[in-house]
Amino acid sequence: MNEKTYSIQLANAAISPTPERSRPREVFYRFRYLINAYPALYMPWLRYHHRHLIDRIVRPDTDLVIEAFGRTGTTFANLAFLSAQRRRVRTVHHTHAAAQVLTAVRMKIPTLVIVREPEAVALSHMARHQVPAGPPLVAWIRFHERLLACRKSIVFCSFDQMTQNFTPAIERVNEKFRTSFDVWQHTRENEAEIFDQIKIRNRGRFSDNAEVERLRAFALPTPEREALKQKLRAQLQDASLASLREQAKNLYQNLLG
């Protein structure tokens, strides 16, 4: 199957799903990002579902929580951070749940949250989860609004800062939480090494027999997914979503200001 065929399949699957197929996806998406915003609802399920994974559940012996709303670069952040450590360090990551962050704050565990511009995230979620534009915006707002009350106990790093120079974010973690983590140096060579690790991780997660799903979910940009997001952009810019877009924009600026 060539790249052109990949693009056609991916576009057809995400842009023109049948109502029977798209509606359950949207319902599940809404439910997931509602439940995972509240520790009392989400954490019991998380502790059971991931009971065999030490890097998914915050515990008293967790050294650092690295979280974000989905499609925000936590794979890069976690691998970069761990690659610099000269001692054993336990990170918790990739639940994309505000409940996990709130639990870490309550336990006084050092916590780093990556924040990406909401419209960019919404497009990625539309492509990845085959949902319309509204639910990702609502979920993005809920995730970050839940963190506002405890933002003084969290280090926030923008997605742009992480991709351009992640070093200061780790330095701020050490300063805020009085930790002594080794600081990853954001050089071109080190960045390329992390991208190589991500590619290896991708190959391990997705089989060659699931090309459409692989292209949607890869933890690195793909030309096919970027083309799909361009096609979805008109849905996101619909006038009916103007209020949500403005609310998300203001919240983004508030968190990083």
The identity of residue 104, as a single letter, is A
Average pLDDT over residues 67-88: 97
Written as six digits, the tokens of 92 are 């918790």
What are the beta bridge partners of residue 66? 93, 112
Q: Name the percent of the chain lying above pLDDT 70.
A: 84
Task: List CB contacts of 219: < 8 A, sequence separation 6 or more.
Answer: 75, 76, 198, 201, 202
Q: Please answer whether residues 29 and 131 qualify as being in contact, where contact means their C-beta atoms are separated by less than 8 angstroms.
A: yes
pLDDT, averaged across the chain: 88
Structure tokens at 13: 């699957």
pLDDT for the residue numbered 16: 41
What's the CA gap between 120 and 221, in Å, rounded?
Answer: 12
Give 219's pLDDT tier (boundaries 50, 70, 90): low
Taking the model in full, what pTM does it have?
Answer: 0.86
Number of domains forming the structure of the chain: 1
Q: Which residue range forms the structural domain that includes residue 159? A: 3-256
Instruction: Give me the pLDDT at residue 174, please.
Output: 98
The whole-number pLDDT of residue 218 equals: 52
Q: What is residue 8's predicted lDDT score, i.e. its pLDDT?
A: 35
Q: Do 15 and 231 meet the contact criterion of CB atoms below 8 Å apart? A: yes
* CATH code for the domain in which residue 54 is found: 3.40.50
Q: What is the pLDDT of residues 147-179, one digit of tens each?
A: 999 999 999 999 999 999 999 999 999 999 999
- What is the mean pLDDT of the segment spanning 88-99? 97
